[in-house]
Amino acid sequence: MDDEAFDAITYIPKKDILFAGFSVFHVASTDIDFKCIYRYKVGTEGSQEIVAEFSSADVENKMCDIMLDQEIHVVANKPITIMVRFQAGDEYFCSTLLGYGGENYASIAENEEREMFDIKESADCSKGETDLRFGQIPRIFYFKG
């Protein structure tokens, strides 16, 4: 895989929502600054690549929050795909805190969140190793529409 490869997952809301952001697990070494490079799609409309920079002070409960500049109205059954990759220093393939066998969306989501979304694997995953059990994107922030 190259430096441009993304982990990706798709959330499909069962009701209309306002998509406000998401959280990611941080890199395994918590004493270093790192970047999360991300994109998202709502239906077929996608964002440009965006870079969020974090320090160890930004990590809370093993996660860092990424909030959108403004909420996006998403109608029921319209997929939201989130794609992420990380960089720590010059290293693009820095180890992340959790993955297969770690925590995943189903195990940390509140009951209401589990009932609000279907979670699907995404064709936008270009790393070739990730599926919906992977723990990079554990929660999505939303408001009921």
**Residue type, position 138, single letter:** P
- Per-residue pLDDT tens, the chain, 145 aa: give them: 456 778 888 889 999 999 999 888 777 766 778 888 999 999 999 999 999 999 888 888 778 889 999 999 999 999 999 988 888 877 776 666 555 444 454 555 555 666 788 888 788 877 655 555 554 455 666 776 5
For position 71, what pLDDT does the model report?
A: 93
Of 101, 102, 80, 77, nearest to 26 (Cα)? 102
Domain residue spans in the chain? 7-144
User: What residues contact 81, with CB distance under 8 A and at least 6 apart?
Assistant: 8, 9, 10, 11, 40, 41, 122, 124
| CATH architecture entry for 7-144 | Sandwich (2.60)
Query: How many other C-beta atoms can be found within 10 angstroms of the C-beta atom of residue 47?
Result: 14
The structure's pTM equals 0.79
